[in-house]
Copies of this chain bind each other. A is one copy, B any other.
Amino acid sequence: MYDYPEPLKNLIEAFRFLPGIGPKTAQRLAFFLLSRSNEEVEMMAKALLEAKNRIITCSQCGNLTDTDPCCICVDMRRDRTLICVVQESRDIITFERMGDYRGLYHVLHGALSPLDGIGPEELNVAGLLKRLQEGEVKELIIATNPNAEGDATALYLARLVKPLGIKVTRIGFGLPVGGDLEYADELTLSRALEGRREI
Oligomer: number of copies: 2
Q: What B residues does A6 contact at CB under 8 A? A: 66
Are the C-beta atoms of B55 and A7 separated by less than 8 Å?
Answer: yes
Q: Which of A14-22, A145-153, A161-169 contacts B (4 or more CB under 8 A)?
A: A14-22
Q: What B residues does A11 contact at CB under 8 A? A: 47-48, 50-51
Chain B residue nearest to A37 in the complex (CB): B52
Q: Which 9 A-B pairs have the closest CB atoms?
A: A11-B51, A14-B47, A5-B66, A45-B45, A2-B96, A41-B52, A7-B54, A7-B51, A45-B48
A8 proximal to B (CB < 8 A): yes
Interface range on chain A (Cβ under 8 Å from partner): 35 or more
A137 proximal to B (CB < 8 A): no
Q: What B residues does A25 contact at CB under 8 A? A: 20
**A35-73 interface bits toward B, Cβ cutoff 8 Å, 1 = contact, 0 = none:** 000101111111111111111000000001111001110
A3-B93 CB under 8 A given contacts A18-B29, A28-B20, A47-B11: yes
A147 → chain B closest CB, angstroms: 18
Q: In chain A between 67 and 122, which residues have their CB closer than 8 angstroms to a CB of chain B?
A: 67, 70-72, 88-90, 92-93, 96-97, 99
A50 → chain B closest CB, angstroms: 5
Are the C-beta atoms of A18 and B2 separated by less than 8 Å?
Answer: no
A34-B55 CB under 8 A given contacts A27-B90, A44-B17, A99-B1: yes
